[in-house]
Chain A
Amino acid sequence: MVSALALKQEAPLAGAALDVDDVSHHFDIDGKVLPVLDHVTLNAKPGAFVALLGPSGCGKSTLLRLVAGLEPPRSGRLLEDGRVITGPHPSRVVVFQDPTLFPWRTVWKNVALGLEAQGIIKSERHRVDAALELVGLSSFANAYPHQLSGGMAQRVSLARALVNDPQILILDEPLGKLDSLTRLSMQTEIVSLWQRNGFTTLLVTHDVEEALFLAQRVVVFSDRPARIKADIAVDRPYPRRRGDPRLAELRHDILGLLGLDATW
């Protein structure tokens, strides 16, 4: 599955810098205020790979929605390369927690969605084929989403994001639904994609090992409302080995931060 096909022909663009600047956010549920993000400040250099870890329901997906520009923050600012993020843009592409494929489109047309929306599908059809090849689903190009397994659907949604050549790739537990074997190979795949294309990557995951295997930095959030509890640099070169004792050490630290070290 590790194909030599780069999605782009030209030299890789560097990813964009991302600045989350003192962002707070809350929801109103039945007139009650539910604070979700509490003064979150986070900076990612161009091409950085940052993993976000935190308890379920703390606000990770909400932060990603703000970065994507799907909602404006209640206070604070988000900047992409120094420009304030005011709305969604195809330079920041999200792989959502649910694959949310369009059931009325074939796999191929689902992957083509972004290029079609931007009106460049006619000249860029080969990118769709390349993206499908990349996730190993070329033979399912004409299948409909209901004919896919959960893991395959998740891979299609990854291809749908990658085909756009994002500068910031936002991954919300993209591998959560995969079986452990596919998961491991997709992790390797994501690292090589990231290294090849150079996009800035923001990855939410529940899996501490996954965060450590993939990311240069692991940001640990508190319970809701999410505050940054720790920002840990994973100072190991790629390609990493899963058995690396340094990663095990960091894993212990992080589980401790999440209050789970008793089971270690």
Chain B
Amino acid sequence: MPTYSASETLDLPVASSERAGLSTFLRGLRGRVVGFAASAVWLVFGLSCWWREDLGDWSRTNEVAIGALLIAGVLLAASIAGFWSERVGEIVRNRAPWLVLLGALFSVWEVATAKLGWLPLPFFPPPQAIVEVFTDDLPKLLDSVISSIKLQLGGYAIGAGLGFITGVSIGWSRAVGYWVHPLLRFIGPLPATAWLPIAFFAFPSSWSASTFLIALATGFPVTVLTWSGVASVSNAYYDVARTLGAKPSFLVFKVAIPAALPHVFVGLFMGLGASFAVLVVAEMMGVKSGLGWYLQWAQGWASYSNMYAALLVMSLLCSGAITLLFKVRDRLLIWQKGVVKW
């Protein structure tokens, strides 16, 4: 804590406790100052929307300005409330630095695009243009989101499920390993997108072709990591279980699989990343729906604000999916806490 100096520790107890009170107060004040600063920056952003006429024809400038001012107002209220409520103060303190940065970036963005035109226009739309997409093109965007989620979920579930089963089987059975291992070696490393041209005419619909590709992209890492997880389970665990009367099914389901689960999750994470890439490409190339297709379509019309909006939604979805998977892992692998560093 930088507010303490060496001399303070030598002070008399009474004095030092007073000083400590003061330093706590100062530290609290510093946290609050950032809250007020954030409020001010968002005020600036809001006002910058009204500073002068927009260079282009955007319909949502007022809404953006009012939204920014509302945020500024909320931040101001929360910063003041922080003097009384330690909890609110904590929330504001944690988020304020980021909010200052965001507000500043938005202000610069607004001024540099809509007001002064420093950045070439169709390529760099102002914030209100992107807000406009969300308000005016919402149905189409939502449709795309739902379609993407459906495709992704189906393909990922199939790929993860099959990959897991295959991984356990090769890890467990020598015979399965003999047949599947070379196949995996040979075909696995091929990027799933390389199958794209074949998949689109080999499958009855572009939907099923894309599901196959996503499943393939997910399945490979899940298979390999599940397999290596099962293969690396210490024999000592099997010995213990066997002397206690375990049958082979018990050894698979109650020893091999739980012991391999940390590896499986690594595979699931890798598969998730790989499948996002395939999803977007498949949507762009074949499926006439989804966010990838929306991006493609927006590019065709040179409507860059729609592209940015779609990108934003896409990144929210992807990070949401990763967060969800982390949550599931934390749930299932609670026992790992304290064994390894997360």
Contacts and interface: CB of A to CB of B under 8 A. Distances in A.
Contact of A113 (B239, B241, B338): B241
Contacts of A146: 335, 338-339
A258 B241 CA distance: 34
A194 interface: no
**Size bracket, chain B contacts:** 20 to 34
B243 A93 contact: yes
Interface string A46-78: 000000000000000000010011100000000
Contacts of A87: 242
Interface string B228-252: 0000001011011111111100100
B180 interface: no
A164 B245 contact: yes
Interface stretch (B111-119, B255-263, B318-326): B255-263
Interface in B300-338: 333, 335-336, 338
B87 interface: no
A118 B247 CA distance: 8
B339 A96 contact: no
Nearest to B240: A100
Contacts of B254: 116-117
Given A103-B335, A144-B335, A90 B240 contact: no
Interface in A68-105: 68-70, 87-90, 92-94, 96, 98, 100, 102-105
Contacts of B236: 96, 98, 100
A55 B216 CA distance: 55
Contacts of B242: 70, 87-88
Given A146-B338, A146-B339, A147-B338, A104 B259 contact: yes
Interface centre among A94, A104, A118, A147 (most CB of B within 10 A): A104
Contacts of B258: 102, 104-105
Contacts of B335: 103-105, 144, 146
Contacts of B261: 104
Contact of A117 (B239, B244, B259, B339): B244
A102 B255 contact: yes
A224 B258 CA distance: 38
Contacts of A116: 250, 254
Contact of A118 (B239, B245, B339): B245
B244 A96 contact: no
A88 B238 CA distance: 11
Contacts of B234: 100
B239 A96 contact: yes
B255 A93 contact: no
A160 interface: yes
A98 B245 CA distance: 19
B340 to A, nearest CB: 10
28 contacts: A65-B239, A68-B243, A69-B243, A70-B242, A70-B243, A88-B242, A88-B245, A94-B240, A96-B236, A100-B234, A100-B239, A100-B240, A102-B237, A102-B255, A104-B335, A105-B258, A113-B240, A113-B241, A114-B244, A114-B245, A117-B241, A117-B245, A117-B247, A144-B335, A146-B338, A146-B339, A147-B338, A164-B244
10 nearest A-B residue pairs (beta carbon): A90-B245, A114-B244, A117-B246, A88-B242, A118-B245, A100-B236, A104-B335, A104-B258, A88-B243, A117-B245
